[in-house]
Structure formats: C-alpha cells, structure tokens
C-alpha cells in the first residue's frame, strides 16, 4: 500500500480537488467498509444514503453527487468509476517480483528465458520456447514447445499452453486457462466421427486478460486470434479459428463456437452462446444469456432469453408458447370472420 495526498490523487485521476489538498490518503475502500484516512467513491444517486454514512475521509464523486455530499474532501470527476480504477492502481501498486527461476522448474535446453523473468515452482517449459523480459509464470504452469510469451505477461498457477501458442505483452492468463487444445472437428464417416487433425495455433495479443479456466482452442488450420485489449472472463469457451477484434469483452460462461468472427469493441454478456461461422460487427452489445444463431451486421444492442417468472405462471406460458403458431392462425381466422 502506497500513501498519497489528496492533491496527488487529484492529479493522477484528473479530478478537481475540493477540500484539504494535503490530506493523507491511506487506502481505498467501498462505502460500507471505508475507515477514516481512506478514500471511497460512489457512481450514482442510489448510493446517496450510504455515501453520507460512510467513514471515509474523502470521496471520488461526480459534480452532481458532490453537491449532496456532506463531507469536505472530494475529488470531482466526470467518471468516478474510472477515477477509482486509476486511484486504486497507485494505492495498490503491483508488487515487484524478483527475477528468479525456481530450482524445481524444468526448462528445456533450447528455451530462451529473459534474465528478468520469474519462473515459479514446478513450471515446465518445452523446447524452443521464448520468454521475454519481466514475464511471470507461476507454479505448476506448463508451456509446451515453440510457445512465445511477450514482456510483462503474467501466467498464474496451473495454466497450460499447448505447442506453438503465441502470447503478447502485458497480458494476463489466470489459473486453469488452457490455450491451444484441439478444436472440436470431426467428419462424419460410417456413423462414426473421423478426427480432423487440428494443426493451427492460438495467437493472443497485448493487454489481453483471460479469466480462470477459460479455454481457447487452436485453429484447425491457421490461427485462432485474440486481438489486443480483449478481456475474457472465467469459464469461457473460444472455439477453433475464432477471431476476436481488439478491445472486445466477453463475460463468464459464454460459448463462442468455431470460426466465429467478433468485431472490435463488442461486449458479449455472460452465458451467451454464438453459433459457428457467424460474424459479429464492431460495437455490438449482446446482453447476457443471449442465443446468437445468425450474423449481426449492424452495431447496436441485441438480446434474447426469457426472464424468470413464478413457476406456475411459467408453466402456463410455455404451454402457450408451443401453441403460438396456432394462436397466430386463429387470430387471422377471427379477423377474416369479423371482416366478412
């Protein structure tokens, strides 16, 4: 934990300072947990009552909310959420990791590992792997042959990279991530499945984050591509030959089938599924648990799914759903009857 003055934080977060510029800020916490000395933040009027009960010594607020705040020390910012992100980054700086290679790690002779990298316990690194400066690879991770990992990238414990995976710079793979497993490709043959050998790889760009236990399959031919700045949550499936454009974000448990192309700056809600070979335009937002079975050509917000209702009501309505086509025909009949 770093300690800063309120004026230093104002500078870092590009905020307008109101109150005591020399106030020492000892930490950052949520409205319900903050203690004296700390700064907190609120992002909307629904937090107003909590805001004025909070024990924090300073707040990050919009001008609007600041007007209703009874405290004295405020950083006024158009985007308090971003300012909080900027503040916490300096108040909780990355711990310096010492360059080291744990004696239990097993590294092929032909691998090249930067002196500044940190290789954890029981890490296994294959032939011709290239590990750049300041890379951190935590315990139990396995890097197969011919992989490359760009500088400052962080692999948490128990990550697996299949052979030929290329990972960019400043990227983070969380525990349990599997990069480059075989895509799900079979040709039907005499009522059995003939495996299509998956000979491609995975290429992940810079500033990407991949959540715990997410899987990104290698391409059948060519590369599965995750562009710069993409953020993937936990337990997501990315099929073979998928291409995700830069700065798109996908929430947990989404299933992206093979050969899907997702544009730049898209947001895909959790537990959504996109069928194979579809194409999603730039700047598309898909809400959670949506089912995408045709391509989306125009930016916008798209949704599907049926929110819950009380179980008895749901039972009645789903029966009606299965009769929808008949209902529609019935309406047309009635219409004709009335007109005649």
As annotated, the active-site residues are 240
- By CB under 8 A, residue 162 contacts a second copy: yes
- By CB under 8 A, residue 45 contacts a second copy: no
Region 187-226 residues binding a second copy, contact defined as CB under 8 A: 187-189, 191-197, 199, 209, 211-213, 215, 217, 221-222
- By CB under 8 A, residue 88 contacts a second copy: yes
Q: How many residues in the shown chain lie near a second copy by CB under 8 A?
A: 121
The binding track of 304-333 with respect to a second copy, each residue x by CB under 8 A or -, is xxxxxxxx-xxxxxxxxxxxxx-xx-xx--
- From 256, 303, 247, 248, select the one nearest 278 (Cα to Cα): 256
Nearer residue to a second copy within complex by CB, 115 or 192: 192
What is the radius of gyration, based on Cα positions, of the chain? Answer: 26
Indicate the helix (H) or strand (E) that contains 196: none
Residues 6+ away with beta carbon under 8 Å from 76: 15, 16, 17, 18, 61, 62, 63, 66
Q: Which of 20, 114, 247, 295 binds a second copy (CB under 8 A)?
A: 247
Q: Which of 50, 100, 110, 303 binds a second copy (CB under 8 A)?
A: 303
- From 187, 175, 174, 181, select the one nearest 201 (Cα to Cα): 181
- By CB under 8 A, residue 270 contacts a second copy: yes
Q: Which of 144, 152, 153, 164 binds a second copy (CB under 8 A)?
A: 144
Least distance to a second copy from the beta carbon of 101, Å?
A: 13
Q: Please state, in angstroms and as integers, the Cα–Cα distance from residue 71 to each residue in 57, 145, 233, following that order.
A: 8, 58, 37
Indicate the helix (H) or strand (E) that contains 118: strand 118-119
Q: Please state, in angstroms and as integers, the Cα–Cα distance from residue 255 to each residue in 79, 127, 212, 222, 247, following that order.
A: 32, 32, 15, 21, 18
Nearer residue to a second copy within complex by CB, 99 or 221: 221
- By CB under 8 A, residue 98 contacts a second copy: no
- By CB under 8 A, residue 58 contacts a second copy: no
How many Cβ atoms from other residues are within 10 Å of residue 306's Cβ?
Answer: 10
- By CB under 8 A, residue 24 contacts a second copy: no
- By CB under 8 A, residue 69 contacts a second copy: no
- By CB under 8 A, residue 169 contacts a second copy: no
Nearer residue to a second copy within complex by CB, 21 or 318: 318
Residue with tokens 């690194």: 125
């Amino acid at each position: 934990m770093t300690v800063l003055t309120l004026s230093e934080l104002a500078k870092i977060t590009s905020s307008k300072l109101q109150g005591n510029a020399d106030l020492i800020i000892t930490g950052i916490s949520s409205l319900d947990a903050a203690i004296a000395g700390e700064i907190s933040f609120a992002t909307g009027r629904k937090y107003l009552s909590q805001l004025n009960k909070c024990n924090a010594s300073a707040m990050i607020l919009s001008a609007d909310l600041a007007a209703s705040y009874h405290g004295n020390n405020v950083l006024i910012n158009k985007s308090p959420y971003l300012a909080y992100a900027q503040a916490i980054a300096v108040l909780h700086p990355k711990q310096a990791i010492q360059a080291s290679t744990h004696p239990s790690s097993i590294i092929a002779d032909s691998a090249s590992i930067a002196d500044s990298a940190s290789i954890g316990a029981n890490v296994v690194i294959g032939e011709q792997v290239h590990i750049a400066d300041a890379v951190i690879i935590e315990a139990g991770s396995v890097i197969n042959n011919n992989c490359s990992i760009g500088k400052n990238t962080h692999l948490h414990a128990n990550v697996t990279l299949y052979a030929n995976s290329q990972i960019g710079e400043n990227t983070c793979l969380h525990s349990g991530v599997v990069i480059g497993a075989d895509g799900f490709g079979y040709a039907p043959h005499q009522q059995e499945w003939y495996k299509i050998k998956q000979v491609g790889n995975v290429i992940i760009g810079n500033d990407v984050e991949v959540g715990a236990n997410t899987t990104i399959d290698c391409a059948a031919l060519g590369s599965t591509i995750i562009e710069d700045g993409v953020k993937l949550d936990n337990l997501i499936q990315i099929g073979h030959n998928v291409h995700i454009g830069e700065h798109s974000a996908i929430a947990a448990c989404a299933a992206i089938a093979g050969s899907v192309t997702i544009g730049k700056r898209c947001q895909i809600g959790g537990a959504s599924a996109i069928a194979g070979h579809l194409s999603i335009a730039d700047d598309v937002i898909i809400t959670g648990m949506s089912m995408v079975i045709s391509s989306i050509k125009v930016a916008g917000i798209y949704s599907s799914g049926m929110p819950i209702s009380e179980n008895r009501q749901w039972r009645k309505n789903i029966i009606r759903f299965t009769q929808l086509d008949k209902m529609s025909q019935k309406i047309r009949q009635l219409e004709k009857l009335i007109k005649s």
